[in-house]
Chains A and B, each alone.
Chain A
Amino acid sequence: MSHIHISDGVISAFWGLGGYLIVGLIIFLILRKVEKTDLKKKIPMTGVVAALMIVGMSVPLGPLPVHLSLAVLSAIIAGPALGFIAIFVVNFLLAFFGHGGMTIVGLNTIIIGAEAFVGSMLFRLLSKKLTPFKSASIATAIGVIVSMTMMIGLIGITTGGYEVFLHKFLDHHHEVGHSNEGVHQNEDGHLQQQHGGEYNEEGHDVKDVKFLFLSGWTAIVIILLLGIFTESMGTGLIVKFFNKIRPDITGESNTAVTDK
């Protein structure tokens, strides 16, 4: 859900390298655990889950300017550890197509990995008391909120401007015209950059952001909610589908509460 479609050269190499180092360490620890345990038999499934994420992104959802990422679902199916690796593989492969820079793969993996981890752990917890649909939806929604928060923070730190977030967000929702309009209106000198990559946000007005007939914070909140809604409903409905046909996939056969 929270893709950072930041291209190479926008974020400094220091941050990109740091992201890779952290992800490398996490993957090393996960793989060491996999080597020693029965998890090795899930290796093909991890690849399958990664492929599923890429394909899931290409599924059209009608008029909604969003797509599914299925990060939480991947972690629910393959487990948070292997789900993290699947997310790294997806980001790495997408970077070959310019869908996010190659230098940003590490940071992107950390953020979407956090979404998957939080979502899958919450799902485990909630599915003991709620129906699979509700638990998956709530867990995914919270996971997406966590990753969005991380993403905004990261972009704020590395680029020094929340405008980037506005772009990213609108960007993600493929609202080309609207997002550009919002930024174009800021070209009249409201935003000034200092040497060293820091921005002053003097005078920048969030009310410039527009989505359909809405503008300002309302538009931002609406778009945010739309993204969270789609991802959480999508994941919830897929998990509900599993519950009817193959409850063992999400480990729900042990839960007492089921969807009708």
Chain B
Amino acid sequence: MHHLAEIDNISITGNSVIHNLKAVSKMIFALFILISIVVSDSIVHIGGIMLILIGILVFSRIPLKTVGVLVLYPAFFSLVFALIMMQQSFEHGLIVIFKAVGAALNMILLITTTSYVDIFRVLSLFLPKLLVDIFLFTYRALFIFIDQIENLIKSMRLRGGYRAFNIFANLKNVAGAIGVMVIHSIDMSNRMYQIFSLRGYSGGIINWHEDKKFKLLDFLYVLISIIILAGVIVF
């Protein structure tokens, strides 16, 4: 969960050219790249896309160590599918891993250069407003919980409530810790609703106020993704 806070910080405090692009253009880019990766069956194509993505990550001054840690998940999860595919050929197995890592790099590029709130704002254009509200409430609550659970686990350890090999005691104490957190969170959500109601909330926190006018760089960024997609389809 530390990654979440770190990524949030990188996306908000980052000040590269990519960070300053419009969220819409970055999301369109991510969509086209994802489609390119999914439809491609060429290791050269996917490898090329990955190199481009890594290049953009470096250009955006995103710490590659953080990216590397995050990419480990899909690399690991795709491993067995890859091993199964390797029965057919080594290349097929490699493609599976490349697809997984490439798609993850693509999403990581998006979230490290675009804040969640901006992503939700774009999503609010075509998703139901109540659903976008839930995304926002989740995002807000998440950071409160991360602090809470860390403190609770620390307290548990200090008081001897967490023993490495006592599964039953651990489960019972962790259940208590989560229980306390849930009770706090329910009170918090009720309070949140009352505050929002007082301010006239009837669904739809986010309004689309961003300047919709694309700049040249936004067009270029989207164009790159279109060229990549076209390249993958044609070649």
A: which residues have CB within 8 A of B? Answer: 5-10, 13, 27-28, 31, 34-35, 40-41, 43-52, 54-56, 58-64, 68, 70, 73, 77, 85-86, 89-90, 92-93, 95-103, 159, 161, 163-164, 166-168, 171, 176, 179-180, 183-184, 186-187, 189, 191-193, 199, 230, 233-234, 237-238, 240-242, 245-246, 249
Do A52 and B145 touch across chains, with their CB atoms under 8 A apart? yes
Q: How far is the CA of A234 from the CA of B175 in the complex (A)?
A: 6
Do A245 and B193 touch across chains, with their CB atoms under 8 A apart? no
Total B residues in contact with A, Cβ cutoff 8 Å = 82
* Contact residues of A: prevailing secondary structure: helix
Do B88 and A43 touch across chains, with their CB atoms under 8 A apart? no
Do A77 and B176 touch across chains, with their CB atoms under 8 A apart? no
Q: How far is the CA of A191 from the CA of B87 in the complex (A)?
A: 6
Closest to B148 in A: A55
Q: How far is the CA of A119 from the CA of B85 in the complex (A)?
A: 36
Taking the complex as formed, is B51 at the interface, i.e. its CB lies under 8 A from any CB of chain A? no
A to B CB contacts below 8 Å, 10 in the list: A7-B74, A7-B96, A8-B99, A9-B96, A9-B99, A51-B139, A59-B174, A61-B174, A97-B73, A192-B87
Do A193 and B77 touch across chains, with their CB atoms under 8 A apart? no
Do B103 and A8 touch across chains, with their CB atoms under 8 A apart? yes
Taking the complex as formed, is B34 at the interface, i.e. its CB lies under 8 A from any CB of chain A? yes
Q: How far is the CA of A53 from the CA of B59 in the complex (A)?
A: 34
Closest to B152 in A: A59
Chain A residues with Cβ below 8 Å from B44 are none
Chain B residues with Cβ below 8 Å from A95 are 107
Q: How far is the CA of A180 from the CA of B71 in the complex (A)?
A: 18
Do A98 and B134 touch across chains, with their CB atoms under 8 A apart? no
- Contact of B174 (CB < 8 Å), options: A5, A34, A234: A234
Give B186-203 as 1s and 0s: 1 = Cβ < 8 Å from A's Cβ atoms.
Answer: 101110110011000011
Chain B residues with Cβ below 8 Å from A184 are 83
Do A101 and B175 touch across chains, with their CB atoms under 8 A apart? no
Q: How far is the CA of A8 from the CA of B46 in the complex (A)?
A: 12
Taking the complex as formed, is B38 at the interface, i.e. its CB lies under 8 A from any CB of chain A? yes
Taking A61-B167, A159-B81 as given, write out 17 further A-B residue pairs in contact, using a Cβ cutoff of 8 Å, ordered by the A residue number. Answer: A5-B73, A6-B77, A8-B103, A9-B96, A10-B99, A35-B130, A40-B202, A41-B197, A44-B192, A52-B178, A62-B170, A98-B100, A98-B104, A98-B107, A168-B80, A237-B175, A237-B179
Of residues 77 through 100 on chain B, the ones whose CB sits less than 8 Å from some CB of chain A are 77-81, 83-88, 92, 95-96, 99-100
Do B133 and A43 touch across chains, with their CB atoms under 8 A apart? yes
Chain B residues with Cβ below 8 Å from A159 are 81, 84
- Contact of B100 (CB < 8 Å), options: A10, A89, A230: A10
- Contact of B110 (CB < 8 Å), options: A27, A49, A61, A96: A96
Supposing A54-B1, A102-B34, A193-B88 touch, asked if A44 and B171 sit within 8 A by C-beta, the answer is no
B: which residues have CB within 8 A of A? Answer: 1, 3-4, 7, 34, 37-39, 70-71, 73-74, 76-81, 83-88, 92, 95-96, 99-100, 103-104, 107-108, 110-111, 128, 130-131, 133-142, 144-146, 149, 153, 162-167, 170-172, 174-179, 181-183, 185-186, 188-190, 192-193, 196-197, 202-203
Chain B residues with Cβ below 8 Å from A230 are 171
Chain A residues with Cβ below 8 Å from B176 are 237, 241
